[in-house]
Amino acid sequence: MENIINIVTVLMMATSFAVFSLRQYHHSIKAYALQTLLLVIVFLALYFKYGSHELLIWAITAFVIKVVFVPLYLLRLIKKIGVVVEDEPVGGFFISPVIALSFSLAVSMMLYKVFIHFSLFQEILPLFAASFIFMMGIFGFVLRNSFLKQILAYCLFENGIHLSLALMAYTSHELVEVGILTDAIFAVIIMSVLAKRFYASYDSLDTSKAINLRG
């Protein structure tokens, strides 16, 4: 079972890089859906390994909300706005992923060594992946100018945190999972409403154009 979890978490790292780097929005959204499906597989694998029923509930709720609802909602949003390709990110399309990748790897190298001291699941690779995905999400916010890519970055680091929770503290109460997921859904919905407004105001999703309030 450890091998399955190792392989799946490596795939999750690859998908986080894809969500970050792919220029076409619908490809990025589908990569996110795939990543969340992999997350659900990790939950199920941990459930079969440890028999903790909380993990089964997490798997079901994550599937419904994050594999199905959020991607469909975001696909509908890009269709409604009529955007296809992402705006130029900070440093350009090539440099931006390189920066994110190298810094995320460096930070994760430090973090997993702390995590392993108290994690319930004692495998290096999944713990490394959890912090890597989180950091890719943070860099998505910092380096990508597109509002929609920033929403996906939020979803990414939320997946990183979710994976950390499953690996390090899968015995926590189901209500915790519900609370965090509820926030995530509302955050995505509210950010999407603002993205629509943003597009209506600026005729673009490029947030580097939002400079009216500086001073």
Interface ranges with another protein (CB under 8 A):
114-115, 117-120, 134, 137-138, 141, 147, 150, 154, 157-158, 161, 164-165, 168-169, 171-173, 175-176, 179-180, 182-183, 186-187, 190-191, 194, 197-198, 200-202, 207, 210, 212-215
3-state helix, strand, coil in the chain (%, to 5): 80, 0, 15
Q: CA nearest 13: which of 21, 24, 3?
A: 21
The one-character DSSP state at 23 is S
Q: How far apart are CA 184 and CA 114, in angstroms?
A: 26
Cβ proximity to another protein, 7 vs 190, nearer residue: 190
Name the minimum Å distance from CB 196 to another protein. Answer: 10
Cβ proximity to another protein, 36 vs 94, nearer residue: 36
Q: How far apart are CA 76 and CA 58, in angstroms?
A: 25
Name the minimum Å distance from CB 18 to another protein. Answer: 20
Cβ proximity to another protein, 7 vs 106, nearer residue: 106
Cβ proximity to another protein, 109 vs 114, nearer residue: 114
Asked if 166 contacts 46 with a C-beta cutoff of 8 angstroms, the reply is yes
